Amino acid sequence: MVFLAVALIGSIAFLLYAITVRDASQIPLLAAGGVALGIVFLALATYTLRVTWRAGIAGRDASALALAFGGGIAAIIGFGCISGAIIVFLLARSG
């Protein structure tokens, strides 16, 4: 879990750095930052899937429901970041 927290902070910092760059490398940096952030959120969703399964087996239904909801939100954010990065990459190549 600590690894995911460090990866999340690092990928957000990288994305914020990519936003501040004002030269020709900004678009590829934004795409790479989006992919990195998407991978971190998908890893978080995978982790919550495992923890949700264990909470469900242990009979902690409220905890399992909250974890499943959080994991679903993390998956949506992860796929959104990756699809946004793909769109940015394709727009950069077309111009």
pLDDT confidence band for 4 (50 / 70 / 90): confident
Model confidence pLDDT, tens digit, residues 5-34:
899 999 999 988 988 888 887 888 889 999
Give residue 15's pLDDT.
87
Chain centroid to CA 83: 11
Give residue 95's pLDDT.
64
Give residue 46's pLDDT.
96
Pairwise CA distance, residues 48 & 6, whole Å: 17
Give residue 22's pLDDT.
85
Cβ burial, residue 25 (10 Å; 0-12/13-18/19+): exposed
Q: pTM to 2 decimals?
A: 0.86
Q: Does residue 94 surpass a pLDDT of 80? A: no
Model confidence pLDDT, tens digit, residues 56-80:
999 999 999 999 999 999 999 999 9
